[in-house]
Amino acid sequence: MALSLPITELKGVGEELAKKLAVLGVKTVGDLITNFPRRYEDYSNVIPVRELHPGIVTLEATISQVTGRYVRRGMHITEAIATDETGSVRLVWFNQPYRAGAIKPSQAYYVAGEFALRRGRFSITNPSVELVGDFPVNTARIIPIYRETKGLKSFQIRKLVREAADIVKDMPEHLPQWLLDEQKLDDYTTAALEMHFPSGPEMLAKAQRRLGFEEVFQLTLAALLNKYELYKDKSIAIPFKEKLAKDFVAKLPFKLTDAQRKAVWKIYQDIDRTQPMNRLLEGDVGSGKTVVAAMASLMAIEQNYQVALMAPTEILARQHADTLYKLLDNVGYGGHVGLLIGSLKPKAKSLMHKKIKSGDVRLIVGTHALISERVDMHKLGLVIIDEQHRFGVQQRKKLQAKAGHMPHVLHMSATPIPRSIALTLYGELDISILEQMPPGRRQIKTKICSPNSRAQLYAQIDKELERGRQMFVVCPLITDSEISVGLSVEEVYERLSKKDFKHRHVGLLHGKMKSAEKEEVVRKFLDCKYDILVSTTVIEVGVDIPNATIMLVEGAERFGLAQIHQLRGRVGRGEHQSYAFLMLSDSRAPSQRLRALENTTDGFKLAELDLQLRGPGAIYGTMQHGALDLRVAKLTDTKLIATARNAAQMFIEKREKIAKYPHLAEKVSALRAITNLN
């Protein structure tokens, strides 16, 4: 009951504080308890004054000679002396005038902060102080640091969590007792409270393992339940025809990579069964996913089954339709490719609906228009979803429902995901990875640039534009802020179109524009009506402009490796040498992350490095997840992931009734809805 109490039930939480907590997703006492710290600072080692050393320190001392004064520009300084049996040290607080009245003389305090030399004197600056007691909250322990928001700091959150911990004594257990015993895991209450106020490093590590295990266990259980449910459905078997496949490959103007051959063979084996295929085809930009999709489609349409390929934008749908037409026309099936998008004129749309219904069109490429009620699929055997994370679950279900049975489903993604994350995210999918690039593809030359070299860089770029090439300029913001001036599309567009490249045609694209406006801008760029397109990351996936050879990323240090790699993949799609210029915001030395982009074009290696350096959020940011909420688990901990996955399998094999564990059932149900691709 205590967990469901509104946060305003806690002492000191009024309407204003409740609004600030709501920004962090904290609306109830239970939300506060599960709002785990982002990191920790260790103030647990209490030392005497005589052993002080530069760095983070904690003392137990009395505080005296507290004085406060205002200095120039309204700055307030509070000074005091902390004393124990071994000596004294100066304390200094800036702009905290309340300190003088709050400190009680002759009382023992814990004092924690950074001891350092400033202006020729050693002192502890802006220390936390609290009366010595049985349960210090801000000092003399491992201190939790939380995600903060304007007007709400970690010390305030710690105070509230301490109060909530007194209310919430025993929280419901989420996992079966046999699993806790087998894995030697703490109970949920112990682990949750240790996360906020660790008794020590070992107990914190145990708590993190317990809660991280639970997160991966829940996610994997959801994925496995989805997978086993899929096994119950029946699909139409599409037999493999060797001669057809060989004829297609023989007429290709290039040679398939071994990775493409393996992926195609797996798909052919999948669709030759009545158990529905549910496969993810993951490949870096330019690795040849569309050819694999064409070969899968060919096997279906030759046997009079229909294929629906759903893309996230009209531009991408048009590109797919053109490419698939050319590939399939080599073997006489180009005429069976049709395009169905919202911007088609009524007459053309009506004609396409008739052709789909009659079966004259067997490979239907489109956007959300494919799931319109007016679309009557003739005999849908295969569904291909490009960049599947860009569609909601309900949209996918509508498309599949048109078959009247469960069709085979192939998901394609150009976002390189480390295998540990792919297995955790997509546990219900079989995964094929195109880790090879087709031979002969030119590598994109990548260079980190300082703002001081902008003039020389623009001169080099202008020579490329003079040859008829085009350039993307990607910015991290739509509008400038006080902190980040000159990094918005609006500011950069103004500067380039009216000053640096005023002799060129410059276009503008960002996420706040209407869909039709965005489509029109991209179409003009594709038709070479713009030399330069200034954009946010909306062009990250899918836009294919063979004539664009330059990618300039402004404020490059603000992007993740995987994201810049995706942006870089927008160029290098034609016959000409392409370049990616990573412009820094200032003249400081580039990071190790950015240097890696100069040295490799392997998206999977970069994604692994991003995972190590920045954590899973760097990868989730390029995908669908606000939904995937891993607060504790580290996806670099492959041992934990394997253990939790095995436990989820065992839970199913034991025929456990998930309803016996209400919290687990609720969480798994939500995760099934997120990850369910059926």
* 264 plus 375 within the same structural domain: yes
Which residues share a beta bridge with 39?
A: 145
* 400 plus 469 within the same structural domain: no
Query: Of 540, 572, 600, which marks where a domain is finished?
Result: 600
Q: What order do you get walking across the sheet with 408-413 strand by strand?
A: 337-340, 363-366, 306-310, 380-386, 408-413, 278-283, 430-434
What CATH number is associated with residue 481? Answer: 3.40.50.300
The verdict on residue 473 lying in a domain is yes
3-state helix/strand/coil string of 244-278: HHHHHHHCCCCCCCHHHHHHHHHHHHHHCCCCCCE
Task: Kindly report, residue by residue over 282-328, the tens digit of the pLDDT.
Answer: 888 778 899 999 999 999 999 999 999 988 888 888 889 999 999 99
Question: Domain range spanning residue 484?
Answer: 445-600
pLDDT at 482: 44
The verdict on residue 125 lying in a domain is yes
Contact 241, 302 (CB under 8 A): yes
The verdict on residue 540 lying in a domain is yes
Across 429-457, average pLDDT = 84
pLDDT at 72: 78
pLDDT at 458: 95
Global confidence as pTM: 0.68
* 252 plus 129 within the same structural domain: no
The verdict on residue 581 lying in a domain is yes
CA distance 678 to 665: 20
| Total number of domains constituting the chain | 3
Length of the chain: 678
Q: How far is CA 442 from the centre of its chain?
A: 29
Angle of helix 592-599 versus helix 561-568 axis, rounded to 10: 30
Across 361-378, average pLDDT = 84
Which residues share a beta bridge with 447?
A: 581
* 428 plus 453 within the same structural domain: no
Angle of helix 603-614 versus helix 561-568 axis, rounded to 10: 150
pLDDT at 414: 78
What CATH number is associated with residue 128? Answer: 2.40.50.140
Cα distances (Å, whole numbers) of residue 600 to 445, 542, 566: 10, 21, 13
pLDDT at 623: 42
Lowest mean per-residue pLDDT among 149-163, 300-314, 480-494, 573-587: 480-494
Q: How far is CA 69 from the centre of its chain?
A: 48
* 289 plus 403 within the same structural domain: yes
Percentage of the chain beyond pLDDT 70 is: 90
Query: Of 600, 617, 649, which marks where a domain is finished?
Result: 600
Q: Is the pLDDT of residue 49 over 60?
A: yes
* 416 plus 467 within the same structural domain: no
pLDDT at 626: 38
Q: Is residue 25 helix, strand or coil?
A: coil
* 368 plus 502 within the same structural domain: no
Contact 412, 293 (CB under 8 A): yes
pLDDT level of residue 647 (50, 70, 90 thresholds): very high
Q: Is the pLDDT of residue 501 over 70?
A: yes
* Region of residue 599 (phi > 0: left; psi between -120 and 50: alpha; otherwise: beta): alpha
Q: Is the pLDDT of residue 655 over 70?
A: yes
DSSP run (H or E) holding 532: strand 532-535
The verdict on residue 181 lying in a domain is no
* 476 plus 421 within the same structural domain: no
What do you get for the CA distance between the two ends of the chain, in Å?
Answer: 36
* Closest of 422, 371, 378, 445 to residue 401, by C-alpha: 371
pLDDT at 376: 85
pLDDT at 268: 97
Query: Of 575, 600, 625, which marks where a domain is finished?
Result: 600
CA distance 447 to 470: 18
pLDDT at 143: 92
Map tokens 């080599």 to a residue: 330
Q: Is the pLDDT of residue 76 over 50?
A: yes
* Runs of H (alpha helix) within 428-486: 454-466
pLDDT at 403: 73
The verdict on residue 275 lying in a domain is yes
Two tokens, residue 58 = 């904690």
Two tokens, residue 21 = 């907590």
Task: Kindly report, residue by residue over 226-259, the tens digit of the pLDDT.
Answer: 878 777 778 899 999 999 999 999 999 889 999 9
* 49 plus 112 within the same structural domain: yes
| Average pLDDT along the chain | 86
pLDDT at 224: 86
Please report, as a single letter, which amino acid is at residue 356. Answer: I
Q: Is the pLDDT of residue 194 over 60?
A: yes
Across 487-493, average pLDDT = 88
Lowest mean per-residue pLDDT among 174-188, 236-250, 436-450: 436-450
Q: Is the pLDDT of residue 46 over 60?
A: yes
Map tokens 């094999």 to a residue: 653
pLDDT at 628: 52
Q: Is residue 547 helix, strand or coil?
A: coil
* 412 plus 493 within the same structural domain: no
The verdict on residue 53 lying in a domain is yes
* Closest of 501, 491, 490 to residue 461, by C-alpha: 501
The verdict on residue 186 lying in a domain is no
pLDDT at 620: 42
Please report, as a single letter, which amino acid is at residue 36. Answer: F
* 249 plus 388 within the same structural domain: yes
* 429 plus 512 within the same structural domain: no
pLDDT at 619: 46
Q: Is residue 329 helix, strand or coil?
A: helix
78: burial class by Cβ within 10 Å (0-12, 13-18, 19+)?
Answer: buried
